Amino acid sequence: MAGIVNYIKDSFDELKNNVSWPTWQEAQSLTVLVAVFSIIFSLAIWGVDTVFSKVIQAYFNWIG
């Protein structure tokens, strides 16, 4: 049990003293960037899925 406690203490110490945290402005701009990229990526996947769905549906209508 002492090993787990030491691990947690060391983890907090690492986060507090050795991690280079972004400024609030950087964090906000990166959050917006991730949100925009996620929306664009999901729309692209939706488009590809729609096209493939129509192609497969046309194929099965053609053969059957």
Classify residue 51: in a domain, yes or no.
yes
Classify residue 12: in a domain, yes or no.
no
pLDDT tens digit at each of 64 positions of the chain: 788 999 999 999 999 999 999 999 999 999 999 999 999 999 999 999 999 999 999 999 999 7
Domain that holds residue 40: 34-64
DSSP letter string over the chain? Answer: -HHHHHHHHHHHHHHHHT--PPPHHHHHHHHHHHHHHHHHHHHHHHHHHHHHHHHHHHHHHHH-
| Number of domains into which the chain is organized | 1
Given this model, what pLDDT does residue 3 score?
Answer: 87
d(CA 57, CA 45): 18
Classify residue 8: in a domain, yes or no.
no
Classify residue 1: in a domain, yes or no.
no
Classify residue 53: in a domain, yes or no.
yes
Given this model, what pLDDT does residue 1 score?
Answer: 77
The pTM score is 0.65
Classify residue 50: in a domain, yes or no.
yes
Given this model, what pLDDT does residue 64 score?
Answer: 75
Question: Cβ(30)–Cβ(22) under 8 Å?
Answer: yes
